[in-house]
Amino acid sequence: MLDNHFKKEKFKKSVKENVKMLYRKTIDEATQEQVFQAVSLAVKDVIIDNWLLTQKQYEKDDPKIVYYLSMEFLMGRALGNNLINLCAYKEVKEALDELGFDLNVIEDQEPDPALGNGGLGRLAACFLDSLATLGYCAYGCGIRYHYGLFKQKIENGYQVEVPDNWLKDGYPFELRRPEYAKEVKFGGYVRVEYDPATGKNHFIQEGYQSVRAIPYDMPIVGYNNQIVNTLRIWDAEAVNDFQLDLFDKGEYHKAVEQENLAKNIVEVLYPNDNHYAGKELRLKQQYFFISASIQAAIEKFKKSHSDLHDLPKKVTFQLNDTHPTMTVAELMRILVDEEGMSWEDAWDITTHTCAYTNHTIMAEALEKWPIELFSKLLPRVYQIIEEINRRFLLEIQAKYPGDQEKIRKMAIIYDGQVKMAHLAIAGGYSVNGVAKLHTEILEKQELRDFYEMYPEKFNNKTNGITQRRFLLHGNPLLADWITDHIGDGWITSLPELEKLKVYADDKKAQQEFMNIKHQNKVRLAKYILEHNGIEVNPNSIFDVQVKRLHEYKRQLMNILHVMYLYNKIKEHPEMPFYPRTFIFGAKAAAGYRRAKQTIKLINAVADVVNNDRSIDGKIKVVFIENYRVSNAEMIFAAADVSEQISTASKEASGTGNMKFMLNGAPTLGTMDGANVEIVEEVGAENAFIFGLSSDEVINYENNGGYDPMQYFNNDPDIRNVLMQLINGTYSGGDFNMFREIYDSLLNTNSSDRADTYFILADFKSYAAAQEKVEAAYRDEAGWAKMALLNTACSGKFTSDRTIQQYVDEIWHLDKVVIGK
């Protein structure tokens, strides 16, 4: 699908024109950043034509639409990805070469739009890519945060957060759409007006403050199919910049407040992952983007349909976790208050239009809002939730007469709090988990009462990732090699990778495969040297753990194991040891103290180990600063070992695990999340599995009986490592620097059980699995086969498969083909 705009000469001309128009410069005077802007505009020009075509086709076909509502979209850079999906990457690379520019350097000029924290936001981005590629009509709806996730600097071993001003130079791929602005109302009170003519009450919000929601659209380019969908992110503006009438009435205060509300609401993404902060501003953000998105969706629906009762046939609102659950109440408000529908009809429509995805069972991530805060900020929406709750409790009572326990556990409003997950389950037609194990835990443990009441709503959708970004773009050498061997069908049909299995024992294929891995390791080593000043050996094993820093993900266990290995090498310098580079990348939430201490510990260990000449460079530890989508692509491509070591039952799915597998890195992990399915696909002999099972963990949690002290007392290796946290080994003699980490593992002076995440229980089986990794790596042919099989068996984990399952089992969308 080579659009003629990408005929090289024409493209070059367009870039030069753009440089001239934008900067009054000739191309050889332009900076790399200016060339990035000019190239992006030239690409956008092509995209816009397809965007229009897509719009026309949608108008003609009138397909069902999914609105993917999410507080987070962790998109990563767009330029390279757009070129990949337009099938124009190589042509543009050549064109730029001829102009004297390197496409890689130009791509590097783009800020990483980081409108998300981690897995949940990146999943949303992969889903948009698959939806467009599969030809489904979908809108991503979110917030145009002025500051995305902070940039991480490491100073003296500690994380320092730097604001991410990603819009500073203007973002070339977005399109402001003021004609679709919506008004969103906060606060005030509800006046009830009885209408004798109809016998109905009308609910009128008064004395409120408003914000104008302005949409910005970003194109989502499908792969090689001319489809361009839309990610619509909402910005906020004051309703009137200068409300003269308010000034006249002396309400200066109110005018300023409205302006501040607008300014604050979209200012910054909350940097928490798997953790709910409970701030009023966050609730404002949620209602802001939901109200605007639902209003826009209803308006769009009404343009081409006369009966709102048909909404469920044409629209699904998919709630990405509980953050957008306000949708249930806002849709009810619009249908009842604005469209004059009966409660019963509105409820029937709502409960056939909304669907909810659960992404975590971590208790601290469960959103519960105090009713005072909620009702003050959103008085009418709160009334509606009260009514939903009242009716829901009647339903529970009818099903379980006299069972107060059910009410206590299931009510939407209880104990002065609004429980968002309960609202999402009651108000929707589907509840899904994100991996088999996770969905099972939801059904049997976390949401058991709801599963018992509505078994038909529950289903599993194992996560997936897009191979277009994480292989075709991120690992071009491997992508080409695969295409040379099995053709390029895998780009849109990942299970075709299975055809690589016949090469698993082929010596030449093995060598080529490992040679590509080596080149990717050299590329990463260069990046590490440039960005971290650490020299690493590409012939060592690259053992990688990259993901958000969270106690349940157990980066701490990883670094404690490094300390243990280092002790062993020091004690037995002669013992055989295959050189290893332990690579970490992780941002910690700004207020998460324990996580930040772990970062310091990793860097402290790195300092000691990397500078100890006596160990001959056998171990290197690298903490890659500012882990994000753009460097992730390079890291996955270069990894030998994929560390997926969360406490079993805690990681809902994981998606990094899939990206490593796709790039040929075997999993070293627990039987948690989607690791279970990875092992199912590739075989236990091609992974390194260790640790407590989720049943064992849950059993300890429910029944007690776990005593970490026992490991400390009985295992001298463990004791030694833990003592080094408090004897100054890694802190230049400071006994207190890592005391809190030590206490968290052994001491119960806090209310939590010590070693909440069973690090000591799993430590020795982790160390044993690590030994197996080393032994396996020494067998070159064996390792090459294992690595190759990981790639060959990763077909299930494409987000194309996940999306097709959402379509078949939840959304029931119609496929669209341009020009048909």
Positions in the binding site for ligand CJB (CB under 6 A): 117-120, 123, 273-274, 321, 359-360, 365, 434, 463, 651-655, 673
Nearer to ligand CJB, 434 or 563 (CB): 434
Query: Please, what is the minimum distance in Å from the beta carbon of residue 180 to ligand CJB?
Result: 29
Place of tokens 């440039």: 530
Asked if 675 contacts 644 with a C-beta cutoff of 8 angstroms, the reply is: yes
Catalytic status, residue 547: yes
Shortest Cβ 363–ligand CJB spacing (Å): 12
568 is catalytic: no
Q: Which of 44, 323, 517, 659 is catalytic?
A: 659
Contact 68, 140 (CB under 8 A): yes
Q: Which of 553, 580, 587, 596 is catalytic?
A: 553
Q: What is the C-alpha separation between 635 and 624, in angstroms, rounded?
A: 10
The pair of structure tokens assigned to 252 is: 């200066």
Q: Is 302 a catalytic residue?
A: no
Q: Of 185, 284, 359, 473, which is the active-site residue?
A: 359
324-334 core/surface letters (b: 16 or more CB in 10 A; e: else): bbbbbbbbbbb
Q: How far is the CB of 70 from ligand CJB (least distance, A)?
A: 11
Smaller CB separation from ligand CJB, 172 or 669: 669
Indicate which residue of 333, 521, 547, 801 is catalytic. 547
Nearest residue (CB) to ligand CJB, 520 versus 655: 655
Does residue 322 have an active-site annotation?
A: no
DSSP, collapsed to helix, strand or coil, labels residue 562 as: helix
Catalytic pick among 322, 439, 462, 655: 655
Q: Closer to ligand CJB by CB, 283 or 334: give it.
A: 283
Tokens of 441: 């835990």
SS (H, E, C) 61-82: HCCCEEEEECCCECCCCCHHHH
Read off φ and ψ for residue 335, nearest 5 degrees: -70, -40
* Beta-carbon contacts of residue 359 (< 8 Å; ≥ 6 apart): 119, 120, 123, 320, 321, 434, 652, 653
Mark out the alpha helices in 404-554 (DSSP H runs).
404-410, 420-426, 436-441, 448-453, 467, 476-486, 507-532
Helix (H, G, I), strand (E, B) or coil at 100: coil
Rounded to an integer, what distance in angstroms lies between the CA atom of residue 300 and that of residue 805? 26
Q: Is there a catalytic annotation at residue 253?
A: no
Nearer of residues 19 and 807 to ligand CJB, judged by Cβ: 807
Q: Which residue of the set 548, 554, 600, 620 is catalytic?
A: 548
Q: Is 548 known to be catalytic?
A: yes
Query: Cβ of residue 804: shortest distance to ligand CJB, in angstroms?
Result: 17
Cβ distance to ligand CJB smaller for residue 589 or 767: 589
- Dihedral sign, CA of 215, 118, 657, 537? positive
For the CB of residue 380, give the shortest distance to ligand CJB in the complex, in Å: 28
Q: Which of 353, 432 has the CB closer to ligand CJB? A: 432
Residues facing residue 546 across a β-bridge: 585
**Min CB(659)–ligand CJB separation in Å:** 11
Q: Which of 71, 130, 51, 58 is nearest to 807 (CA)?
A: 130
Q: How far is the CB of 457 from ligand CJB (least distance, A)?
A: 18
Q: What is the DSSP string of 592-625?
A: -HHHHHHHHHHHHHHHHHHT-GGGTTSEEEEE-T
Residues annotated catalytic, as ranges: 359, 547-548, 553, 655, 659
